[in-house]
Amino acid sequence: MADPTVSVRDLTTWRDSKAVLDSISADVLPGDIIGVLGKNGAGKTTLLETLLGFSRPDRGSVAVFGEDALHLSAAAKARIGFLPQQDELFGMLNGRQQLAIVAAFHAHWDHALIERLTAEWTVPLTRRIDSLSVGERQKLGVLAALGHHPDLLVLDEPVASLDPIARRQFLQQLFAIGENERRAVLFSSHIVSDLERAANKVWIVKDGRLHWQGELDALKESVVRLHIRSRAPLPANLAAPNALATRIDGNTAMVTVTQWQPALADTLASQFDARIDVEGLGLEDIFLELHR
Amino acid sequence: MKAVLRIGWTFFTAMPLQRWLNGIGIVLCGMLAVLNLKVGEPTWSFVFLALFVPAGIVTLFASPAIFHGLSASRSNQLLPHFHIWMLAALAALMIAQLAMFALIFVAAESSRTPLLPALVHVFTFATVAFLLMFLALSGQRWAWWLWLMASAGFIASRVMPSMRIVLDAIPPWTWFGASLAAWTAFVLWYTRTRHIGQRRRYWQTANRSSPIDLDENVTRERALGLLLSSALLSTRWRKFWNIVVIVIVVVALLSQLTDPLAISIRGFWGTVTLYLPPVTSAFWVYCVTAGMQSATMTIVRNSRFLWLRIPGSREDVQRAIERAALRNFCTAALMLAGVAALYASPLAGASPRQVVTHFMIAACAGLCGAYAALSTFTVRQVDLIHFVSVLSLVMAQVVMFSLAQGSWRALAIVVVIQLGCVLLLRRLAIHRWRQIDWLYMRPPTQYAGLFQR
């Protein structure tokens, strides 16, 4: 197995006597495209920025390319691309000048890629940044994060302000990055359909904890909704193992379970003399069920 | 009415610094009032001053920023009768300030000046202060210069008898009429305008109209320099400033050639350079401390950009910032040396001790200001703590400056104290820098946190 690009161990951060990040341990491997999902205030931005050493955790450690995130060498920093949630572009520059400043810090800057993406995404590089729309600024921020072909790309809400066309183009670029097995991408988004399309792994952050981490397909296989139809009224205290949510209406019930095993359907069928239909859920439904 | 009261309350309490000072003012006022009643011969002017100085003056200077912050918000402009209520609240604020001043004035029994002209002067000052600051915050940079010139003129008028005579000859009602005209113009503009310029971010201080001298082939050093100093300013202003300095120096030296010219220039010179010891040197102590702390603080707040650009740990970023701050200090020291040379010239005719005192104390003040900025940042309440610390530093240095006028020994002691302070602040800076949290320590956005602390 390849060395992890990012290795997180027992990461804990407190703010005002509340754990913003709580005992998080995870690895980001080369080739991973990880979508980070969570409610507002769940700790996504804190997590992503702490991974890059912007914030010092109260407990635990983060290693990026094998180096302590709080003491990254120039070589390690050169392999990171980062797009913060709030853009930090210099308003009085134009886009070309902004990119020139970022390019100056990298030994290799793919001008051809930037030119191509600029044309495809229609980014007006000659206009002053403070006259650009929010979406145009966001595109510029993404370009600045991509130009040096980073091995670790961390994007905090990269598509929040993009139109559907730009979002699709951005996702295609992510696919292209994903084809390179050396690189890893970590991005947060509230647009679950995009995340579902682009990511091969998911981290679900809930109350500062990593509620789920793993392959997206595994998550979908793990969380299912069971439709139970019985001949007799179902008990009000119907309890299925690993149930996330249970809704009972007379002879029928809907139970969402995690860690799904087919044997459970047989058990429930015989227990309640019922027919069990298994419904696979999309990521958005799973997210909603996990937050009930 | 409720809206006016609410906005009026906001004028006094929006910034955390105001809330602290209001509290201090109320406590001081209460204590002095009790003391007064016990003593038997009450001097109520001190009681009112105790409230007015911390609460009133700060509110006067904070009100343009608060008024601008509320007015610039597009969503606020959609509120029913918003402009009218804002203006009504502003009028109430002005009346409250004038009433407070009148109380102090009346309470000070020794005053022989009639109340009304004094109130007119205060009203004029408040008008100039508010309008110029409001315009400056709306992106009219010339207003800052006008404000600076008006302040310099005010100080000069206090210390130069001839200028004071000229100003005193102007009838108070002229000032009052001019102020009313200014307010009328402002009200007409404010109630009709659809757009009020946004205050620029600290770290984006370039003039909107200035071209940026930056091409596509930026070196790493240049890019780092830009991020460190946020010196994205065009060289136009710098060139202009250099020319102004050269012209002043040349005129000053030329004026030595002919006596009649020297005499006439000397009066002008005293006004433009504020060469009025010890006011001048105290002014420089303030300028250099505040200027250096402000420049360094800008770099500190930009340090988030540097984290993924400068190799190594937080200490490495801190060292890069310290180097940038010291480079700024070298520039400031050069400017001070120029000023000291001018003081030493026959035009000003300051003694060597005065010149050295001025230079050494102001230079050390610059170092103190820079290290105060490096050391007093915290995750939150950064502006408040920073403001208070730098203000204390300036006041302490101005006091020390007056002590250092005594002898060479006194000067040496003061400089040693200042350098000791620098070393302490540096140690504190290094200690605190290890804890810097860029999740919160970001370049501030439009009025970030102004109303929400």
Is the confidence at residue A256, as pLDDT, over 80?
yes
Using the beta-carbon criterion (under 8 Å), do A101 and B311 form an inter-chain contact? Answer: no
- Does B225 reach chain A within 8 Å, measured CB to CB? no
Quickly state the pLDDT bin for A272 (edges 50, 70, 90): confident
Could you give the 3-state DSSP secondary structure of residue A149? coil
pLDDT interval class at A155 (50, 70, 90): very high
In a mutational test of the B interface, the residue from A58, A67, A68, A92 whose CB has the highest number of chain B CBs within 10 Å is A92
Please give the residue of chain A at the shortest CA–CA distance from B435. A56
Place A79 in a pLDDT band, splitting at 50, 70 and 90: very high
Q: Is the pLDDT of residue B272 over 60?
A: no
CA distance B387 to chain A (A): 24
SS3 A42: coil
What amino acid is encoded at B450 in this protein?
L
Higher-confidence residue of B263 and B189: namely B189
Average pLDDT, chain B: 74
CA dist B268 → A116, B20, B163, B247, B407 (Å): 61, 42, 11, 14, 30
Q: How far off is chain B from A191, nearest CA to CA, in Å? A: 23
Look at residue A287 and tell me whether its pLDDT is greater than 80. Answer: yes
Which residues make Cβ contacts (< 8 Å) with residue A154, sequence separation at least 6?
A48, A51, A52, A80, A81, A82, A83, A185, A186, A187
What distance lies between CA A112 and its chain's CA centroid? 28
Q: Per the CB < 8 Å rule, is B439 touching A82?
A: no
Worst-scoring range by mean pLDDT, A6-20, B204-218, B437-451? B204-218
The tokens describing B300, both together, are: 């500190």
Is A184 in a helix, a strand, or coil?
A: strand
Q: How many CB atoms lie within 10 A of CB B218?
A: 20
pLDDT in tens, B91-124: 998 998 888 888 877 777 655 667 788 888 888 8
B311 neighbourhood in chain A, CB within 8 Å: 72-75, 77
> Are B218 and A103 in contact (CB < 8 Å)?
yes
Q: Does the distance separating the beta carbons of B216 and A96 come in below 8 Å?
A: yes
- Chain A: closest CA distance from residue B145 (Å): 22
Q: Who's near B415: CB < 8 A, 6+ residues apart?
A: B360, B361, B364, B404
* pLDDT in the model for residue B382: 56
Asked if A100 lies within 8 A of B439 by C-beta distance, the reply is: no
Closest by CA to A212, choosing from A227, A223, A202, A221, is A202
Q: Is A93 on the interface with B (CB under 8 A)?
A: yes
Separation between Cα atoms, residue B189 and residue B193, nearest integer Å: 6
- CA pair distance A50, B187, nearest whole angstrom: 49
Q: How far apart are the CA of A47 and the nearest CA of chain B, in angstroms?
A: 10
- Is B215 part of the contact surface with chain A (CB cutoff 8 Å)? yes
- Would the CB atoms of B309 and A105 count as touching at under 8 Å? yes
CB contact under 8 A, A86 and B445: yes
d(CA B277, CA B184): 40
> Per mean pLDDT, which of A206-220, B38-52, B113-127 is the most reliable?
A206-220
Choose among B212, B219, B305: nearest Cβ to A97: B212
How confident is the model over B363-377, as a mean pLDDT? 86
Chain B positions touching A97 (Cβ under 8 A) are: 212, 214-216, 218
How many whole angstroms separate alpha carbon B405 and alpha carbon A190? 65
Residue numbers in A near B307 (CB within 8 A)? 52-54
Residue B205 scores a pLDDT above 90: no
Q: Does B161 touch chain A (CB under 8 A)?
A: no
